[in-house]
Amino acid sequence: MTQDLFATIPAHPQPRPAVSRREVMMGAAGLSFAFVLGVEGRAAAAVLAAERTGKTLSPWVSISTDGTITIMSPAVEMGQGSMTSLPVIVADELDADWSKVAVVPAPPVDAIYGNPGFGGMMYTAGSNAVTSYFTPLRTFGAQVRRVLLENAAKRLAVPVEELTTEPSMVVHAKSGRRLGYGEIAAFAEIPDKAPEIRPEQLKKRADFRLIGHDVMRVELPMKVNGSAKYSIDQQIPGMIYGTVIRAPVEGSAPDKIEDAKAKAVPGVIAVVKLPYGVGVLTETAWAAFAGHQALDVSWTREGRAWGFDSDKGMELFAAAARDPKSR
């Protein structure tokens, strides 16, 4: 028997945050720039994740006056590094000082943070997060950088074409003047429409400072010091837990379910027959594990993989490969 990864299930699903038409258009158009004024950099992360009021909070990026750059990460961190790799894409095009970046998991708003490779859903699977988000996130980072340059050009009274950037710094080489991103945050004006960024305006790959280079994963210190929060650590009122025993062969289904012992486990709420397996719903995580172990399930013999022989399988595959009609 195979068991699904452990999942927590709210008994009463919480409503998703309301998203205004303007916010949807901001996400679609790539308007990914905002400054959090008068807020300490690390606290800005909590503001971005929980609120969308005040001065045009950005779907993807905020910059506080202390220079902290908060970047949303739309993919779930499951040990594969997505919580670092996606913000790195934004940060590289933004020309951000990575040591000043704070990464925050994006709130569940598909219209803004959805994965382009999964029809716009916030879905992390298939090893496709970097591939799917790569170009959009580069564009968002480049738009933020452009707005920084335009605001700096107005303040310094110079053509924007004379400005360039270094990590978290706008530089006017002719006069030797420099403005940090945090300084610009104090006076920046946010455009109603994001600047247009053409593909040829994105960084050349040879100029990447972060993408393709060794960058420490942002969640690593938390995993080492024990402060990291995992899915199993999350608690909400009325939450129940569940495990699923899946059929050992695709196409097979539960035939007989002996669940008396499972139902006798303290905290077990219900045993649910599914087309592809058996679910156990419980009040606690450990009851879910214990209930799962106490189940005795037999399976229908549907599905071609029953009795599969690996050696004979290779012969069948080779024969199919030689047969033009099977291609």
Residues composing the chain = 327
The pLDDT tens digits of the residues spanning 193-236 come to 888 999 999 999 999 999 999 999 998 898 899 988 887 788 88
pLDDT at residue 170 in the model: 97
- Residue 242 in 3-state DSSP? strand
pLDDT at 325 over 50: yes
pLDDT at residue 153 in the model: 98
Question: What's the start-to-end Cα distance of the chain, in Å?
Answer: 33
Quickly count: other Cβ atoms within 10 Å of residue 124's Cβ.
19
The pLDDT tens digits of the residues spanning 43-87 come to 434 444 443 322 333 688 989 888 899 999 999 888 889 999 999
Higher pLDDT, 277 or 2: 277
Q: Is the pTM value of this prediction over 0.85?
A: no
Give the tokens for residue 55: 């001065």
Output the CATH code of domain 31-224.
Answer: 3.30.365.10
CA torsion 81-84-85-89 (nearest 10°) is: 170
The pLDDT tens digits of the residues spanning 307-321 come to 777 777 788 778 888
pLDDT at residue 55 in the model: 30
Distances (CA, A) of 61 to 58, 123, 167: 6, 21, 16
In this prediction, residue 326 has a pLDDT band, given cuts at 50, 70 and 90, of low
In this prediction, residue 278 has a pLDDT band, given cuts at 50, 70 and 90, of very high
Average pLDDT rounded to a whole number, residues 139-160: 95
Quick one: how far is CA 108 from the chain centroid? Answer: 10
Nearest to 143 by CA among 34, 24, 54, 25: 34
CATH topology for 1-12+238-327? Aldehyde Oxidoreductase; domain 3 (3.90.1170)
HSE (side-chain half, CA atoms, 13 Å) at 200: 0
In the chain, which residues fall in CATH 3.30.365.10? 31-224
In the chain, which residues fall in CATH 3.90.1170? 1-12+238-327
Residues 6+ apart with CB under 8 A from 247: 2, 253, 254, 276, 277, 299, 303
**What is 30-88 written as a DSSP string?**
T----EETTS-HHHHHHHHHH---SS---SSEEEETTS-EEEEE-S--SSSSHHHHHHH
Of 123-127, 204-208, 279-283, minimum mean pLDDT range? 123-127
